[in-house]
Amino acid sequence: MPQVPHFGPACFSPRSPVRHIPGAASRPSRPHHFRPVQRRTVIALISGCLVAGAASAETLWNEFRGPTGQGLSTAVGLPVEWAPDKNIVWRQELPGLAWSSPVVARGKIFVTTATPLQGDDETNGISLRVLALDGNSGRVVWNTEVLRQTDAEAIQKHGKNSHASPTPIYENGRIYAHFGHHGTACVDETGRVIWRTQEHRYPPRHGTGGSPVIVDDLLIFNADGQFNPAVLALEKATGKLRWKVARPETAATSKFSFCTPLVIQVKGRKQVISPGSGIVQALDPRDGREIWRVMYGVGFSVVPRPIYAHGLVFLSSGYEKAVGYAIRPDGQGDVTNTHVAWTANKRVPFNPSMVVVGAELYMVDDNGIFSSRDAKTGNLYYEERLLGPCSASLLAGDGRIYAQDERGKTAVVKPGKTYQVLATNDLQERTLASMSVIGSDLLIRTEQALYRVGKR
């Protein structure tokens, strides 16, 4: 998901059409003289080429913002230019509405969605689902309902949000699908439900947003609702509660936030960096005890996932005035006055997460202004109008930075201290979800479909 808080049918046939776009990779119709032995030979040759090409590409994109959780890809050959009829491998329409991002593992793509229980009217309840798609063709392999929600108050959300905005996590053959206050479930790679829980509901505001993280044997997520915000850890094998810790009192009068935690390691010790309203905490994943905290006033509805580079944690303080923070994570207790390396008051995002490439920190704010700063000092190199309104997080890979706006446009920017746009591409479909990577291609989720963008 772009993690955006401000802001179809319940069943979907695996045979739903995949639209192959002119100019995209497609298999020509087989002539009558094409013998099976020739077909097997061609398939073997193609498979060999794909395996060789995938050796240096991204083979696992297992959570929100990828394997590092920070929007960094190791893939090479990522696409630079595309359009609805150019460099599209496939386009697969998806049921319902969701702004979660796709995750990729073992040749499959896993996504979540929410569909109305009756017709197109969500007021009668929603079906919360996990889908698996074949990575090569886009075909839906299975579509499983994991939870239902019929409570009228819980179904209320902001018009720019969805009920399936948190991104799932893949690990060792299991997909952990979190739907915020609606509940959490775990399925295997065949779509079989292993466990589900709706025991940890909380009063939402504008819907759901933050994705979970996995730390050892735990699934950890923020539960920052209207009241009594907290952080929870479930046993990933069973879904049972291991610990729950309440947020400390802060100056923020609005308690709700939508942030995804980040797991880092400092001096050999794991920390769960968990921003909420008015505060960012570093928690010990074993029991939820606080290691350190920084207070940032009345900031609320915090969305961007924090990132960690050059010994600093970078984050945004949220609404109504976003402030960028760079924090040294080696303190104890309240380190507000001692461990904030620098702050930024201009062009800081409310929704899109940041990225660090080399020595520079990059941000795109919600108005589409792109900026580059020195990560260690915060010194501004440039800020330039790049796109329209943005919610999706930045993606960096193959010597490029990808920024995407809500209208379906993506700008490709060259990292560095000077501003250089390599390309601007337009799918002409609304999108708030953050990009993912499969092989050497991009996955872009729009309001209606999932695209695989790349060359074959």
Q: How far apart are CA 405 and CA 411, in angstroms?
A: 9
**pLDDT confidence tier of residue 40, bands split at 50, 70 and 90:** very low
Least confident of 29-33, 286-290, 404-408: 29-33
In percent, the amount of the chain with pLDDT more than 70 equals: 87
- Cβ 58 vs Cβ 437: under 8 Å: yes
Residue the block writes with tokens 């589409």: 368
Least confident of 15-24, 118-127, 141-150: 15-24
Q: Work out whether the CA dihedral 40, 46, 51, 54 comes out positive or negative.
A: negative
Please check whether residue 269 lies inside any domain of the structure: yes
Please check whether residue 374 lies inside any domain of the structure: no
Q: What's the pLDDT score for residue 412?
A: 98
Tell me: pLDDT of 18 over 60: no
Tokens of 29: 């119709």
Please check whether residue 9 lies inside any domain of the structure: no
Q: Give the CATH number, domain containing residue 217.
A: 2.40.128.630
Please state, rounded to an integer, the average pLDDT across all residues of the chain.
89
Q: Work out whether the CA dihedral 408, 414, 417, 419 comes out positive or negative.
A: negative
- Cβ 246 vs Cβ 230: under 8 Å: yes
Enclosing H/E stretch for 95: none
Tell me: pLDDT of 33 over 80: no
DSSP assigned state of 49: H
- Cβ 187 vs Cβ 146: under 8 Å: yes
DSSP assigned state of 182: G
- End-to-end CA separation in angstroms for the chain: 27
Please check whether residue 39 lies inside any domain of the structure: yes
Enclosing H/E stretch for 375: none
Position 264: which residue type? I
Please check whether residue 91 lies inside any domain of the structure: yes
Select the more confidently predicted residue: 236 or 19: 236
Residues 6+ apart with CB under 8 A from 67: 60, 61
Q: How far apart are CA 95 and CA 10, in angstroms?
A: 8
Please check whether residue 391 lies inside any domain of the structure: no
Q: What's the pLDDT score for residue 217?
A: 98
| Structural domain count of the chain | 1
Please check whether residue 453 lies inside any domain of the structure: no
Tell me: pLDDT of 27 over 60: no
CB contact burial 32-65 (16+ within 10 A = b; e otherwise) = eeeeeeeeeeeeeeeeeeeeeeeeebbbebbbbb
Please check whether residue 404 lies inside any domain of the structure: no
Position 270: which residue type? K
Residue span of the structural domain in which 240 resides: 18-344
Q: Please report, for residues 253, 254, 279, the alpha-carbon distance to residue 297 in angstroms, rounded to integers and kept in the order given.
A: 10, 11, 8
Position 22: which residue type? P
Position 207: which residue type? G
**pLDDT confidence tier of residue 7, bands split at 50, 70 and 90:** very low
- Strand, coil or helix: 196: strand
- CA-closest candidate to residue 215, choices 153, 265, 156, 144: 265
Residue the block writes with tokens 């399925």: 187
